[in-house]
A = this chain, B = another copy of it.
Amino acid sequence: MYNKRSLTNLANLSKEEIKKFIDSFDVLLTDCDGVLWLENQVYDGSPQALNSLRDLGKKIFFVTNNSTRHRDEFLKKAQKMGFTCEKEEIMTTSYLAANYLKEINFDKKVYVVGSKGITSELEEVNIKYSPIGPDILDCDLMTYIENVKLDPDVGAVVVGFDQHISYPKMLKAASYLNDPNCHFVATNTDERFPIGIGGIVKPGSGAVVRSIETCAERKPFVIGKPETYITEAIKKCCNIDPKRTLMIGDRCNTDILLGTRCGYQTLLVLSGVTNLEDVRKWKESDKKEYQDLVPDFYLGKLGDLLTLIN
């Protein structure tokens, strides 16, 4: 029953099987947007479901590719929505990007293409950074290029979600990265956010990162899922037995793939990006890259777990 990539619907399991499933993990990593909430809207029943698992003694980590908030803001949001949560349990890519630079004893300045989520985490580890926000082309491009000043103190470029992405930012980032000693860190490469009302596509960090890696002609060190740096950070504060760890997510090419890569059990909830039809196609494929996207379990939404537990 618990074969890897069995794509078992948790809702179809017997009471006894559910108990066996719940008993099979000690540590739980959960994605947030699309699993616990959608932007500022909490999903019905998800706080109760997660809190129940905590009451059963599970160690919980909130693992998000979102780089736009400091952990304190994140904590406040989660608690306000009804989740029991501690700061140490929150693994955002902005926190981890700052953490990564601290680990390598980085002592220069960071050129940030991103938001306050990143700069506030850099501040917390005493790393200097360039100003963020709008940086638009307000003159002829040739004039701009002739007059642009690069900051000689910059030794790293960190790229995340930036709603003020612009040509001057791309130009500066790529120019700094032309020095092979300049570090290049990306928070995550999510293509887009879950599509909301009106069919409007909200581009994700991935669109910003790809533009910069293209003109920089370099690949960044990527912090976020499906890359596994995030789990290295968790291992430092918590013993993890991969087989007794569950990764919950709504997106197979980030959450589930991370779980597969780390040898965790995986649970897909259908309240976000990935739909079951796609997963079934991947399950039929004989390519490893598709097989790696297939979760062990799925469920309509996290809140449904509450009924199953009780």
Contacts and interface: CB of A to CB of B under 8 A. Distances in A.
Contacts of A305: none
Contacts of A107: none
A279 interface: no
B199 A217 contact: no
Of A39, A163, A164, A206, most B-chain CB atoms within 10 Å: A163
A285 interface: no
Contacts of A200: 145, 148, 150, 171, 175
Contacts of A192: 174, 215, 217
Contact of A208 (B136, B150, B211): B211
Nearest to A134: B136
Q: Count copies of this chain in the complex.
A: 2
Nearest to A171: B203
17 contacts: A134-B137, A136-B166, A141-B163, A145-B202, A165-B166, A170-B203, A171-B203, A174-B203, A175-B199, A178-B195, A178-B201, A191-B217, A192-B217, A201-B215, A203-B215, A207-B215, A208-B211
Interface of A: 39, 134, 136-137, 141-142, 145, 148, 150, 162-167, 170-171, 174-175, 177-178, 191-192, 195-196, 199-204, 206-208, 210-212, 214-217
Given A134-B136, A174-B201, A178-B199, 8 more contacts: A137-B163, A137-B164, A171-B201, A177-B201, A178-B195, A201-B215, A210-B210, A210-B211
